[in-house]
Amino acid sequence: MYQIIGSFKSYLSVLGYSIGTQRMLPACIRDFLEYGQYSSIGEIRPADINMFYEWLHERPLKRGEGALSEMMISHYVYALKVFFSWQLETGGVTINPVSMLKFKSPGRGYREALTVAEIQTLFTAAATCREHAMLHLFYSCGLRRSEAVRLRLSDLHFRQRLLYVRSGKGDRRRVIPLMDRVAASLEQYVLQERGKARYMGTAFMLNSMGRAMRGDSYANLLKSLVRKAGMRKEISPHYLRHSIATHLLQRGMSMEYVRDFLGHKCLESTQIYARPGSHQLQAL
């Protein structure tokens, strides 16, 4: 069974899933297989998955008190769907047991986007080229954190005012046009700060030690900037991406344009992230 989990992780890597997803989905499948103690994948039936699903609602947290959230349970369901679709494709099963089941959709907590004034407050508080560049990557360019981590210096073409996302979610690629001020700010970071680092690898953004920025490095840099700006909010890089989507829609951009800008596969995903007004949805 552990060999199957390793192969599943390799499959997710080939498809271009983020590092976090490559860890989370196999961990969910490992919990499922350990729960059922199955001798083979082929013996698993829809009833077994239903029993596991019901158990998840009762299972205590491994750390601390309380039970799993609806969103965490939905991650388990998603992991099972991806896993058994893969097993069906590779001949591990002849019938996908998950395809016969229906699960309750989790309630979605909604966080209001930052206002334009709050975004301006962050940019005003940014004192270094690196802080400005970070804000532009997540807000002005709408990148996911994993996309920023993978961004290379060669992916930016300042003369053409273009940023290339080579491996977005689901291995989808896209090209993001840069406004003049955004391109100028990103180029200024390269010329004034990045060029001074001892480590000159391929990564676009470098941390204070001159090494490639990781996901937690971006989160910590943003958290420090939020404190410096005197804002009493928990703001993540994804929160900035969510905010630019909302602001673009409020400015009259079409849902299709925002979908392509964010790198979403379908409009439903854009609706969830951007929360447009009813008049915008009626125009679709």
Rounded Cα distance, 140 and 39, in Å: 51
75 is catalytic: no
- Angle formed at CA 39 by CA 37 and CA 45, multiple of 5 degrees: 80
CB neighbours (10 Å) of residue 210?
Answer: 13
Catalytic residue among 241, 242, 247, 259: 241
Q: Which single residue is written with the structure tokens 């992916």?
A: 155
Q: 168 is written with which tokens?
A: 């977005």
Rounded Cα distance, 173 and 9, in Å: 22
229 versus 256: which is more confidently predicted?
229
| CATH number of the 116-282 domain | 1.10.443.10
**Spatial contact of 45 and 97, defined as CB atoms under 8 Å apart:** yes
144 is catalytic: yes
Domain residue extents for the chain: 2-100, 116-282
Q: Return the top range by mean pLDDT from 89-103, 147-161, 269-283.
A: 147-161
**Spatial contact of 60 and 67, defined as CB atoms under 8 Å apart:** yes
Rounded Cα distance, 176 and 156, in Å: 10
Rounded Cα distance, 88 and 82, in Å: 10
- The pLDDT value given to residue 39: 86
Rounded Cα distance, 95 and 132, in Å: 51
Sheet with 162-165, side-by-side order of all strands: 156-157, 162-165, 174-177
Report, as an integer, the average pLDDT of 126-147. Answer: 95
Name the pairing type of β-strands 162-165 and 174-177: antiparallel
Q: Which single residue is written with the structure tokens 């400015």?
A: 251
Percent of the chain with pLDDT over 90: 48
Catalytic residue among 11, 76, 218, 273: 273
Give residue 127's pLDDT band: very low, low, confident or very high (50, 70, 90): very high
pLDDT in tens, 62-76: 765 567 777 788 889
166 is catalytic: no
Residue 72: helix, strand or coil by DSSP? Answer: helix
Give residue 155's pLDDT band: very low, low, confident or very high (50, 70, 90): very high
DSSP conformational letter for 156: E
Catalytic residue among 9, 144, 194, 259: 144
Q: Which CATH class is domain 2-100?
A: mainly alpha
Q: Which of 264, 212, 268, 213 is nearest to 241 (CA)?
A: 264
E strand spans, 73-165: 156-157, 162-165
Q: What is the DSSP string of 45-67?
A: -HHHHHHHHHHHTTPBPSSSSSB
Percent of the chain with pLDDT over 70: 86
238 is catalytic: yes
Distance, C-alpha 121 to centroid of its chain? 25
Rounded Cα distance, 140 and 118, in Å: 14
- The pLDDT value given to residue 284: 32
Catalytic residue among 30, 75, 161, 238: 238
